[in-house]
Structure 1
Amino acid sequence: MKKSLVTIAILGCLAYLTGCSESHAEAPQAQQTKVFKQPIDVASVKAYPVQAWFTYTSRLEAVEFVQLRPRVSGNIAKVNFEEGQQVNQGDVLFTLDQRPFMVRVAELEALLANSHAQLLQAKNDVKRASRLLASKSISEEEVEHRHSLLAQQQANVQATKAKLEAAKLDLAYSEVKAPISGIVSRAELTKGNTVQAGVSLLTHLVSDDYVYAYFDINERTWHQHFSQLKGDKQTNVVMQMLGEQGFNHAGVVDFVDNRIDTDTGTLRVRALFKADEQLKPGSFARIRVAANEIQKQVLVPEKAIGTDLKNRFVLVTDEHDVLQYRLVKLGERYGKMRAITHGLEPGDKIAVNGPARVGPGMPVAPQLVEIEPDNAALVMSEQAAKTLLLAKRGE
């Protein structure tokens, strides 16, 4: 009886231990079925036609720049403009004391009247001499002398006329006028100051319709990417000013130099931009110009790219929705998008927000989204050039 009870007890213990081992074996399986998958945004990458961009630095220059100096000497009687205002060609900016010039004009007008009277007398003397010579009442020498006096009086009249014209010019130059339309600077000399012709600086003027931006392309880049570039206003460029986030100003190339500088190995190129209040001569600017050829490249958001020491990578999803590490090589930046020259193919699915919250080997719950380039130019269009040309022609 005792043996049977012991046997029953042993069998019960074995059954209990077997049940515990089975429950512990099933626990990992249950945990595996409940693994959490991080929901993330993924996108299928696409290839777009793009052009390689090159960036150069420049300083803006006015199309026309004038250092205004007087053409006659005198005292400034009046300053006729407000500093920094818009002026038109022909506006009187400075007026010199005109009284000395008016006196000189009046004096020469009187001298001219006297010269005309003497000329008339000389003509009458020649006529009388001709009649007297016919009756042998005067010698030929006297006739020749009177003809000589007539010629002298004619020359005297011409000389006085020339002096009078010069005096009238000086009187006109006593009003210093704007030779171009544009923005006038401050007055360097004010009322009461004496100025010297061709020496004294009165003010500066700059044209305000267009501005130039010069930049230098090195010889190798020129032959590789810009061999077709001409100054015919058909090649578009964009410009960024200091403090701006994007390249918001559109212009055209209107000049390419005729020789490469042997000292620097560069070619001087000029871009033309329509001016506004932001584009002031002397401003620092960055110029971007697109290369000749158009290529298709994969574009991804800049935020999708991670950095691993010196490497750049993106996270791609495989067929099991697990993130994989993928090395990539970067190309040009286009707004918020970056070109990938190696490492991705169209159709690959990437984590749009990069390795911010996820990492390689992590299972995810992908949420498919669309990514498209923003307003940044991928390929230079001709519309900006046409707009600028029409504005220049006044159409």
Structure 2
Amino acid sequence: MKKSLVTIAILGCLAYLTGCSESHADAPAQQVQAFKQPIDVAAVKEYPVQTWFTYTSRLEAMEFVQLKPRVSGNIAQVNFEEGQQINKGDVLFTLDERPFMVKVAELKAQLASAKAQLSQAKNDLKRADRLLASKSISQEEVEHRRSLLAQHKANVQATKAKLDAAELDLAYSKVKAPINGVVSRAELTKGNTVQAGVSLLTHLVSDDYVYAYFDINERTWHQQFNQLKGDKTTQVVMQMLGEQGFNHGGVIDFVDNRIDIETGTLRVRALFRATDQLKPGAFARIRVAADDVKQHVLVPEKAIGTDLKNRFVLVTDEQNVLQYRPVTLGDRYGQMRAITQGLQAGDKIAVNGPARVGPGMPVAPQLVEIEPEHASLVMTKQAVKALLVAKRGE
């Protein structure tokens, strides 16, 4: 009887110890499962992209005029408001016309006198010809009168030319706008004396289109843009100082005919429709896309880490464990970066990179979507056409 009780007691102790050991063995696995780091994970995708090149420029008006008088005189009137929209032919400054009118009147009188002298010379020559027929006058006298007639003809022509010049000066006393555009402030105002071709009156700029010149280095030209022509078929986008995106669309309308041997660059010009934001002289950044379109995986910049040798991303495997994956970077597109080697479409990466996690760490993935926003991946004619139409307000 005692042996049976002892045996039962021993078996009970063994069962208790076995249960304790099993519960302690399951605890680490449960703790590991409980403390998996939750992170955002996204399946990467491929996109068609082009290589973009960015250049700096200063905007220039298509037409720029430093308005100077063509005659000297005193300013009698300023006929515009500063910053006003003006049309070609508008009178901007009026000079005192009286000296020019006096000169015109004087030359008209001289022309009338010259014409009267010419008429008299013609009559004298006719009379001399009749007298010569009856031998009442010498041949020498006839030739003299013929010479006087030629002199009076020349005098009439010279006086006419002086009168034309005086009338032209009178017309130039009204200083007109040679182009359509916007006028600057008046550098000289009423009462000032101006000198022909010297005194600066104001500035005019055209306001329909603006130019942006930039220089492409010779190596890039031959590798990426050797088919580029100034035929308005190549699109570009532009960013103004202080803007976040490249929101202005334009076209290449000029490629220089030679490479500058001193700088090793080729001058190129882009044409943009002018708006209130696009002022001549403004700083701008021009982006031009290479002709070739390629497929590349795009990932957020923040997903990329750096160690001593490589750029890398963290990829989740089938067990939801992060794995180190070295990658080769391509161009940047907004907040996204092209990956040329190391990733394939469908690979799942840690969106926020190695900020809080590292290789070999088990994680609790939370699937999210990543899409390139506000970034130009491929330049299309339709996109640029839409931008240009928007600028026209059509």
Give TM-score, length-normalised by structure 2.
0.90
Segment of structure 1 superposing worse, 25-34 or 346-355: 25-34
Deviation at 1:162, TM superposition (A): 0.3
Residue 16 of structure 2 is matched in structure 1 by 19
**Distance in structure 2 (CA, Å) of the matches to 1:109 and 1:227:** 64
Distance 1:351 1:391, change over 3 A: closer
The code of the aligned residue for 1:26 comes to S
Query: SS of 1:191's equivalent?
Result: coil
The code of the aligned residue for 1:382 comes to K
**Distance in structure 2 (CA, Å) of the matches to 1:134 and 1:67:** 66
Residue 221 of structure 1 is matched in structure 2 by 220
The code of the aligned residue for 2:26 comes to Q
Deviation at 1:105, TM superposition (A): 0.5
Distance 1:139 1:98, change over 3 A: same
Query: SS of 1:108's equivalent?
Result: helix
Q: Quick check: 1:233–1:385 contact (8 Å CA) kept in 2? A: no
Distance 1:317 1:392, change over 3 A: closer
Deviation at 1:172, TM superposition (A): 0.7
Distance 1:242 1:324, change over 3 A: same
Q: Quick check: 1:116–1:157 contact (8 Å CA) kept in 2? A: yes
Deviation at 1:98, TM superposition (A): 0.7
**Distance in structure 1 (CA, Å) of the matches to 2:298 and 2:156:** 83
**Distance in structure 2 (CA, Å) of the matches to 1:150 and 1:253:** 64
Segment of structure 1 superposing worse, 113-122 or 300-309: 300-309
**Distance in structure 2 (CA, Å) of the matches to 1:55 and 1:106:** 63
The code of the aligned residue for 1:19 comes to Y
What does 1:131-142 correspond to in 2, within 5 Å? 131-142=130-141
Q: Quick check: 1:45–1:345 contact (8 Å CA) kept in 2? A: yes
Distance 1:178 1:392, change over 3 A: farther
1:289-340 per-residue CA deviation (whole Å, 9 max, x = no partner) reads 1112221111123343344567433222111122223222221122332211
Q: Quick check: 2:275–2:391 contact (8 Å CA) kept in 1? A: no
1:275 pairs with 2:274: yes
Count of equivalent residues: 392
Residue 263 of structure 1 is matched in structure 2 by 262
Query: SS of 2:359's equivalent?
Result: coil
**Distance in structure 1 (CA, Å) of the matches to 2:389 and 2:173:** 39
1:317-366 per-residue CA deviation (whole Å, 9 max, x = no partner) reads 11112222322222112233221112211121123343455443333343
**Distance in structure 2 (CA, Å) of the matches to 1:342 and 1:157:** 88
Query: SS of 1:53's equivalent?
Result: strand
**Distance in structure 2 (CA, Å) of the matches to 1:13 and 1:73:** 129
**Distance in structure 2 (CA, Å) of the matches to 1:262 and 1:43:** 50
What does 1:17-96 correspond to in 2, within 5 Å? 19-20=16-17, 22-33=19-30, 35-36=33-34, 37-96=36-95
The code of the aligned residue for 1:323 comes to L
Aligned alpha-carbon RMSD (Å): 2.8
Q: Quick check: 2:41–2:365 contact (8 Å CA) kept in 1? A: yes
1:337 pairs with 2:355: no
Give TM-score, length-normalised by structure 1.
0.90
**Distance in structure 1 (CA, Å) of the matches to 2:89 and 2:390:** 23
Q: Quick check: 1:45–1:346 contact (8 Å CA) kept in 2? A: yes
1:198-250 per-residue CA deviation (whole Å, 9 max, x = no partner) reads 11111111111111111111111111111111111111111111111111111
Residue 208 of structure 2 is matched in structure 1 by 209
Segment of structure 1 superposing worse, 348-357 or 105-114: 348-357
Distance 1:242 1:343, change over 3 A: same
**Distance in structure 1 (CA, Å) of the matches to 2:355 and 2:161:** 86
What does 1:219-368 correspond to in 2, within 5 Å? 219-308=218-307, 311-356=310-355, 358-368=357-367
Segment of structure 1 superposing worse, 223-232 or 359-368: 359-368
Q: Quick check: 1:235–1:385 contact (8 Å CA) kept in 2? A: no
Query: SS of 2:144's equivalent?
Result: helix
1:165 pairs with 2:160: no
**Distance in structure 1 (CA, Å) of the matches to 2:320 and 2:135:** 133
Query: SS of 2:239's equivalent?
Result: strand
Segment of structure 1 superposing worse, 270-279 or 311-320: 311-320
Deviation at 1:382, TM superposition (A): 2.0
Deviation at 1:169, TM superposition (A): 0.6
**Distance in structure 2 (CA, Å) of the matches to 1:175 and 1:69:** 12
**Distance in structure 2 (CA, Å) of the matches to 1:325 and 1:392:** 48
Query: SS of 1:77's equivalent?
Result: strand
